[in-house]
Amino acid sequence: MASSKKTKMTKKVAFYATLILLMVVTLFPFLIMLMTAFKSSGEAVSTSPTIFPKEWTFQHFQDIFNPVVFPYLIYFKNSLIVALTASVLAVTIGIFGAYALSKLKFMGKTTINASFYTVYMFSGILLVVPLFKIISGLGLYDTRTSLIITMIVQTLPTAIFMLKSYFDTIPDDLEEAAMIDGLNRIQIILYIIIPLSISGIISVFVYSFMVAWNDYLFASIFISNSENFTLPIGLNALFSTPDYVWGRMMAASLVTALPVVIMYAISEHFIKGNLTEGGVKG
């Protein structure tokens, strides 16, 4: 009996030790980034590195909001417009596409459904050449619209796949009852499907926003004018300027990541919420 308790205790200690080790390995780079943002320029590149600053400074955060050093607000506006617009459109289109694949019966449904699994087998870089030809042909090169289109193309298959999984869990009895009450398909989507799948919709929106917000590949190809740079491209451009120092880079990276962190924090209770409770008509 004592041996069994000792074995369980040993396993428990090993589990927590492994968990702590994983957290340290995962979070240590973020700690270094955070601390570097508060170090002076000399201390950040010192040959005697320290984890915590000897002298704390907020100068780097002031510098990144200086338009001469780093036009953060311009890049932030471009990123926000692209990410919000692409996410809203991807979710909106995805809702109707996912509903069709989940609830409707039509020819070719199985083939279309299987195509969304196939998409995951290919890298997004394969879309660069065809998208570049389409964007150039439409005269949209070096515009925010070009990034919005490419981000929708990137996130829509995943959005439809994820939303379909949520819609599949909604009982068909709810739709049948709604049709008896006189609702059409659009009304069913608006008044039944969306409210019961709001946690999934928010999850898909956050995913789409994150992909668009952090995109570097397509933005680096379709945008050349600095006035249209998004934050990832702006951060890369900062490397090639005389204003580049490690502290500013780390401060700019932290501020760039902040909107996504805030969005996750706000949407967390929606994502975890069980909003289907009480959905079945009594």
Taking CA atoms, 70 is separated from 14, 66, 89, 233, 235, in Å, by 47, 6, 30, 12, 9
User: pLDDT tens digits, residue range 73-132?
Assistant: 899 999 999 999 999 999 999 999 999 988 888 887 788 877 777 766 777 788 888 888
pLDDT at 120: 66
User: pLDDT tens digits, residue range 55-79?
Assistant: 888 888 888 888 888 888 899 999 9
The structure's pTM equals 0.82
Question: Which class for 256: exposed (0-12), middle (13-18), buried (19 or more C-beta within 10 A)?
Answer: buried
Question: Which class for 253: exposed (0-12), middle (13-18), buried (19 or more C-beta within 10 A)?
Answer: buried
Residue 48 predicted with pLDDT over 70 = yes
pLDDT at 253: 86
pLDDT at 78: 95
pLDDT at 278: 39
Taking CA atoms, 124 is separated from 153, 211, 221, in Å, by 10, 12, 13
User: pLDDT tens digits, residue range 205-224?
Assistant: 998 999 999 999 899 999 98
Across residues 233-245, what is the average pLDDT? Answer: 75
DSSP 56-69: ---HHHHHHT-TTT
pLDDT at 241: 66
Mean pLDDT of the chain: 84
